[in-house]
Amino acid sequence: MLSIRDNMARAGKITPPQFVATAFDTLFPEAVNTEWYVNAQGFEAVFHHNQQEMIAMLGANGELLETRLNLQAAEAPAVVMVALAPRAELMNVIRVEKNGETTYEIIYRNRHLDRFVMLISENGKILTDNQL
């Protein structure tokens, strides 16, 4: 299974401003192996929390904008599996929490081995479905 890091381009590790690091430490006190990057919204922390790989996006002022959690295929919620069932094989699933909403970003491949990325709402509505 691909990791979150395999799905995202990286510009280079940085050291965030202290107030951003402090905000992160308050939100994720048990985070380990944290790597920091700059992104369009501010800062991105890639880390492990409760033995799972996560990404937290923090704004330039340190507020939490989004989290991404890399799930194992067996952890994929039923709405993901129902949306995927007629299409093909699940390769990767990421739970995205942003603006109080949860969505699932999945990568799957069809029987011809073409890869696709799909965004599914928490209630199972397919928001996007594009070939990679």
Of 36, 68, 100, the position where a domain reaches its end is 68
Q: What's the whole-number mean pLDDT along residues 96-122?
A: 94
pLDDT at 129 over 90: yes
> How many structural domains comprise the chain?
2
The answer on 35 and 86 residing in a single domain is no
Higher pLDDT, 39 or 65: 65
| Domain end residue (candidates: 53, 68, 83) | 68
pTM for this model (two decimals)? 0.82
Q: What percentage of residues in the chain have a pLDDT greater than 90?
A: 67
Q: What tokens does 95 get?
A: 């739970």
Residues 6+ apart with CB under 8 A from 79: 104, 120, 121, 122, 123, 124
Indicate whether 2 pLDDT > 70. Answer: no
Task: Determine the Cα–Cα distance for residues 83 and 90; give it in Å rounded to an integer.
Answer: 11
pLDDT at 12: 72
